[in-house]
Amino acid sequence: MNLDIGAPYAVPRDTLLPDSDEDVLQTQHQCLPRQRKIIHVDMDAFYASVEQRDNPDLRGKPVAVGGSRERGVVAAASYEARKFGVRSAMPSVTARRQCPDLIFVKPRFEVYKAVSQQIREIFAEHTPIIEPLSLDEAYLDVTENLQNIPLARDVALAIRAKIKEVTGLNASAGISYNKFLAKLASDHRKPNGQYVITPETGPAFVEALPVGKFHGIGPATSAKMNSLGLHTGRDMRSQTLEFMQANFGKAGAYYYWISRGVDNREVRANRIRKSVGAENTFSSDLTEFDAVAAELQPLIDKVWRHCEDKGSRGRTVTLKVKFNDFEIITRSRSVPVAVASRGDLERLSIALLQNEMPLPKPVRLSGVSLSSLQGDDKRNRNLASRFEGSVSSGFQETGGARFLGDENGALGLLRIFRTRFCDTGIAFVPDLRDRKPPAVLDRHDAEREA
């Protein structure tokens, strides 16, 4: 289907007060955005597929990339493993219980990164407007594509075919007129498929969708919506903006608009990193202050080493603690000026831990993050100065690698919490707070498996 149909957005009558027909045309031209063509490309079971590609003995078998040890976590699962209910971020013990024949493979992040670069180069053959979300996922704006292919559907087909030719891997794609719907569409025909949501079919597609299937709505928010009688997009759409904001705060406006198929966020090629962090799962649970504080030291080293390498500094330090019953708490402290040294980062982190003593339960994981990042360039400093206040962060345990997400990263969080994001053990969060409609997620939603 050709998305370039020029269907106008509806403009409320009371927003147009023209004095003449010419004024009507001019006002409509200013108010109606150009119809966009957005593709969301998502590699199918990326890590596991790379391992099966490189090792023929793994093909057709249930494979999990991640640690097989008692406290390991699945980073990615092949489709053969998914048939048994194995999913990313699942504890390895649980995965093994659900699939006794599961084969665990240690992650090879350098290989995944190299393949990701090959895929990125294929994207660049069609458009310079590429917004990577992870090593295996990206948005592309192909409204004006470099190959002059008129149909966005055909652009997606060409990209998927080239990826298969170059890497031997399958990709799925969603095509629509905004990012939210393109993301939904890419999941609709997985694996190795694509789907188009046009302006004519978008509202109906969203109306029939269960709220738990909306990207940006996790189990906690979904349960709350259900308790309010909101089970589908149609139920959400029937509510007023005031109702949604009263019950869901800032996120209410985002839910209000996506239930109408409206998402005005642009595909942004240069996203600003706003947070960096590290975490670690202990080999055995810890209860004493000194033991937990000692485990924070290498995490602080990792975070500060990145800050030194990138020339970035942050103002908000966040401590994360996961107890042995998997309850998670985060504690943050913001300072007026950027943290200037590794020693300052350590002192703030340890102070946050000290405030939680005595610990109510044994601890299985700890993490440290630095957010409200400010880079060396003037643009980053100006942007950072616009956003004040403390930032709570959530983490996702990932076996060998450690990842962190900044909750104010909104939609960017959804994939940052997936272990597939990073090749270095450090994950970054884009700043989406200047996008409209706004999107704010809580930690429980962020930890939802995408």
Phi then psi for residue 103, to 5 deg, are: -100, 120
**Predicted confidence (pLDDT) at residue 310 exceeds the cutoff of 60:** yes
- Token pair recorded at residue 320: 């994360």
pLDDT tens digits for 392-447? 333 333 333 333 333 333 333 333 333 333 333 333 333 333 333 333 333 333 33
447 is catalytic: no
Query: 241-254 b/e with 16+ CB inside 10 Å = b?
Result: eeebbebbeebbbb
Confidence at 332, pLDDT banded by 50, 70, 90: very high
Residue pair 98/84 in contact (Cβ under 8 Å)? The answer is: yes
Catalytic residue among 137, 279, 295, 447: 137
Residue pair 370/339 in contact (Cβ under 8 Å)? The answer is: yes
Bigger pLDDT: 449 or 269? 269
pLDDT tens digits for 232-260? 999 999 999 999 999 999 899 999 999 99
Confidence at 7, pLDDT banded by 50, 70, 90: very low
Work out whether the CA dihedral 237, 239, 240, 245 comes out positive or negative: negative
Residue pair 252/441 in contact (Cβ under 8 Å)? The answer is: no
Q: Once rounded to an integer, what is the mean pLDDT over residues 121-148?
A: 94
pTM score of the predicted model:
0.66
